[in-house]
Amino acid sequence: MIREAALVLSDGEVFEGEAIGAEPAGGITSGEVVFNTVLTGYQEVITDPSYAGQIITFTYPHIGNYGVAPADHESRRPFCRGVIVREMARRRSNWRSTDDLESFLVAQGIAGLAGVDTRRLTTHIRDSGAMPGAFGTAAESDLRTAAAAEPGTDGVDLVATVTRPESEHFTSTRDDGRPPYRVVALDFGLKATIVHHLRTISHVEVVPASTSAADVLAREPDGVFLSNGPGDPDAVAGAVDTITGLLGEVPIFGICLGHQLLASALGGETYKLPFGHHGGNHPVRNLATGAVEITSQNHNFCVADSSIPGADITHINLNDHTVEGLRCRDLPAFSVQYHPEAGPGPHDSRYLFAQFDELMAGLHPTVAGPSQGQLLGGSTNA
């Protein structure tokens, strides 16, 4: 049975559709509305903790055609507020799938909206910026009230809602004959695919975001990883103090929110982008080599260029020239804004995990980046 529903943005724009997924309390779901441009990988996107507090609009018109598979979850459950699509697939076709996408949304308590003109919605967000909104089967007046009351992600510590409550250990899968390192990963919203790649070089202990620098160092790690995560880096309680206490004590590698927090610990500044970077096709230039990598990205905030004392910018986004990577000059620490692990997305940048390996070995990591053969799809695939 079709359940008529609508999305109302905080600026008053209305988009009609039909309800899918779980039925929220009161018939209303609210959050910050963003769009993602991936063609595949919808399950990984929905289960990425970095979407906490947000409603995901998929720009690709047909979503759900290959179902869902447990092995593709990026976290223990979805943390996004909802999902908006043009058309939800009626059938799934994939030998790996165990369920269809809509049943998964229902089981996970995630509401959705289908039949939406996602091209118009995406264009509106690009023109006006990501903004709060509310969707559901409730009356339009109630949706307007909910959209106006939704705070969005600015100034909200969303990391506290997604981090693990206690530490968790993962055994290394290293198979090159070298002993694995010991890495402590601060969980600001850590994706499973990142853990997979860290395990190829080290044993990994994932610890809650609130873990102090002293507690991290007491574990005697060979390196510390700063994970991705949701929301405003300035709102993450205690993170900058922890990273400040780790700098110079142990090699550090950060991704996404971890990159922003490392920059903040170094004295840099962050700001919110108009509609963020969410997709699997962002071109990034490696400034050391001039090579262009196609990258997976998911962030609303960014590091201000020329604001990071003691560090050099290593990568830039070719769409808007924002900062995509940095490396400390005198300390063993580096980070990138994008997602080299992909999940979903291209594999051009997975060489960065090898650079972390070199940093923990006490070597100066190579800055050459991937070869042209790797960029064309060769040995970067795990």
For residue 74, indicate whether it is catalytic: no
Say if strands 111-114 and 82-84 run parallel, antiparallel, or are unpaired: parallel
Q: Which of 32, 73, 203, 256 is catalytic?
A: 256
Dihedral sign (CA 41, 44, 50, 52)? positive
3-class DSSP state of 195: helix
Say how far apart CA 298 and CA 78 lie, in whole Å.
15
For residue 256, indicate whether it is catalytic: yes
Angle at 231 between CA 113 and CA 353, to 5 degrees: 105
Q: Which helix (H) or strand (E) holds 374?
A: helix 372-375
**Quick one: 256 exposed, middle or buried, by C-beta within 10 A (0-12, 13-18, 19+)?**
buried
Angle at 81 between CA 79 and CA 86, to 5 degrees: 120
Separation of CA 185 from chain center? 15
304 in Cβ contact with 270 (< 8 Å): yes
Q: Provide the token pair at 321.
A: 């020239």
Q: Nearest-CA neighbor of 222 among 369, 117, 360, 85?
A: 360
22 in Cβ contact with 11 (< 8 Å): no
Q: Which of 44, 150, 324, 341 is catalytic?
A: 341
Q: Which of 73, 124, 277, 339 is catalytic?
A: 339
Phi/psi for 182 (5° steps) reads -115, 120
Phi/psi for 161 (5° steps) reads -90, -15
**Quick one: 160 exposed, middle or buried, by C-beta within 10 A (0-12, 13-18, 19+)?**
middle
For residue 302, indicate whether it is catalytic: no
Residues carrying an active site annotation: 256, 339, 341
